[in-house]
Copies of this chain bind each other. A is one copy, B any other.
Amino acid sequence: MATILVTNDDGVGSPGLLALKQGLSRLGHVVVLAPERNWSASSHAKTMHKPLRLAQVTLADGSAAYSSSGSPTDCVALAAGGVLGMKPDLVVSGINAGYNLGIDVTYSGTVACAMEATIQGMPGIAVSSVAVPEEGVELAAIHAKAAAVACVLAAEVLEKGLPEGTLLNVNVPGIAPERVRGVHMTRMGHRRYPTGALIRRHDPSGRPYYWLGGEAPVDQLDDGTDVGAVAAGFVSVTPVTLDMTDYTFLRELAAWTTAASVV
């Protein structure tokens, strides 16, 4: 029986984590080790300058879990190091309260968990959906759907494995479950955050401050992308590689004069 580590970046108390844990329990022995607090947009941060603590906690359904004082990545590294008494066969992170589409992948703590799993030699799957579903749909229904998708995919990953250095990034549309049209295997798309999204104001003492973000991303709905699939009502599954080399440009770069310089 496979042992599956469930973790996330929203913190151990997140309802998405619980739904994922419950869904995957049909498939194997599920252990939970997640950050004690919310680490959204923490990316692949790893704690190497200070010690980490583990604590036993109880999830909302009464089941046992572990929390860590560290980052999402730390949780996976701790589990890989054997703090839970075994090395997991599979790591699934989520269900994140917000899509991780296009370049979100480079910021996402949820995806970073699956990256760290991959680096540590375990297959990794990241699962994300919305924080607020479409009108009239319960978040619990979205979570149940996303957990069911994760379960089908996890079973196939446990059977077939993943290529070395590659993880799966899954996004489930935040629409009524019966309207989900199926699963699309996709490439990373484009999602632009308006660069004008910088707020400048003054605080009560008259000192200036700045606030990043706030504006919704502008999705480019290209065919075959994660962004396009989710917008069209499909679950998106993107294979993400840690080999970020731009091989096409590498050939061109070799002709640059810098390459010939001894500097």
Contacts and interface: CB of A to CB of B under 8 A. Distances in A.
Interface of A: 40-54, 70, 73-74, 77-78, 80-83, 103, 105-107, 112, 115, 119-121, 145, 148-149, 152-153, 156, 160, 162-163, 166, 180-188, 193, 195-198, 200-201, 203, 207-214, 235, 237-250, 253-254, 256-263
Contact of A77 (B52, B73, B212, B256): B212
Contact of A41 (B40, B45, B106, B182): B45
A27 to B, nearest CB: 13
Nearest to A209: B51
Contacts of A247: 187
Contacts of A107: 44-46, 73
A195 B121 contact: yes
Contact of A52 (B82, B210, B257): B210
B198 A244 contact: no
B156 A210 contact: no
A41 B48 contact: yes
Nearest to A163: B249
Given A43-B42, A156-B256, A245-B240, A181 B262 contact: yes
Nearest to A78: B210
Given A45-B42, A259-B183, A195 B120 contact: yes
Contacts of A145: 263
Contact of A259 (B106, B184, B260, B263): B184
B253 A185 contact: yes
Contacts of A148: 263
Contacts of A43: 42-46, 112
B46 A45 contact: no
Contact of A262 (B46, B182, B244): B182
